[in-house]
Amino acid sequence: MTTSPVLVQDREALEDALDAQDEAALAVDDPAGGRPYLRAVVMTMGALHDGHLALVRRARELADAVVVTIFVNPLQFGPSEDLARYPRDLDGDLALLTGEGLLGAGDVVLAPTVDVVYPDGDPVVHVGAGRLGDVLEGAARPGHLDGVLTVVLKLLHLTRPDVAVFGAKDAQQLAAVRRMVRDLDVPVEVVAEPTVREDDGLALSSRNAYLSAAERARALGLSAALRAGAAAADAGPDAVRTAARAALDAALTADDAVDYVALVDPATFADADDATSDALLLVAARVGATRLIDNAPVALRAAATAGGAA
């Protein structure tokens, strides 16, 4: 008996695999009020690393059946971005996904081609990210979040999950997905998994493979900026931004460029101010030719103190 997940690459095979999961659900679902049978989905673009596997482990904890999607979505890449060279290794990804606490018999890996996801070519109807798509990542990569939300909604329809697990490293994407699910009444629970980091603090990313040794050392400036910003939290929002930007500038060279350093409300992505208590510090930079992002929560004591005094 196989213990490997089922690999599917077209809609018909996916439907068959999901139907098989649903049939298996009849044997374990408890109509008397126990935990219901649940399906979880983890959406990836492949080139998997330990950060992705943490999402899969979380999905495994939350649900009886798991679907992992592997799809490099062209809608979320700009004309000058790295769509053509984005790392792809389906065999390696499948090997990583199989094992204790990961995928097993009955689970599904959906690895469709572009024409399967977009059978009529570039879709006429897109999902718009609204105000969330106009700032930070949306400003640096116009249309990016619209492309993300469009494919996420399609994959939610195709995989029919109860739970969708996303990584917290892509914080603006996570916020946009949550807002889409809320605004469009999508029947799925969105769960966030904390960012997974290397021992030296670098956030795991498939794009880290692009970095030379020297570039990787400079890329540590992103996590250093987050630490510096958090350390300045008692002095207020402007101090957080200033400290984070100084740390990032100190780590980078003339070969690199800062896209943004921002402190925002984590739900709306409006700039944090003195009335904000729980904020999110975000940084984005190009290290050599590689664009990296990172973020961390920041508790602003000044706002909490003011609230307590009231």
Distance of alpha carbon 14 from alpha carbon 291, whole angstroms: 34
What is the token pair recorded at 54?
């943490």
Residue 285, H or E segment:
strand 278-287
Alpha-helical runs (H) found in the chain: 11-28, 50-62, 90-97, 114-117, 137-140, 144-159, 171-183, 213-231, 237-251, 301-309
- Long-range contact pairs involving 120-129 (C-beta distance under 8 Å, separation at least 24): 122/75, 123/75, 123/150, 126/75, 126/150, 127/152, 127/153, 127/180, 129/176, 129/179, 129/180
DSSP 268-283: T-PBP-TT-SEEEEEE
Which of 49, 52, 126, 144 is flagged as catalytic?
52
**What Cα–Cα distance (Å) separates residue 138 from each residue in 61, 79, 133, 298?**
33, 15, 4, 22
How many Å is the Cα radius of gyration of the chain? 20
* Strand duo 39-44 + 65-70: pairing: parallel
Instruction: Confirm whether 157 is a catalytic residue.
Output: no
* Strand duo 65-70 + 6-8: pairing: unpaired
Nearest to 159 by CA among 186, 185, 179: 186
Q: Which residues are catalytic?
A: 52
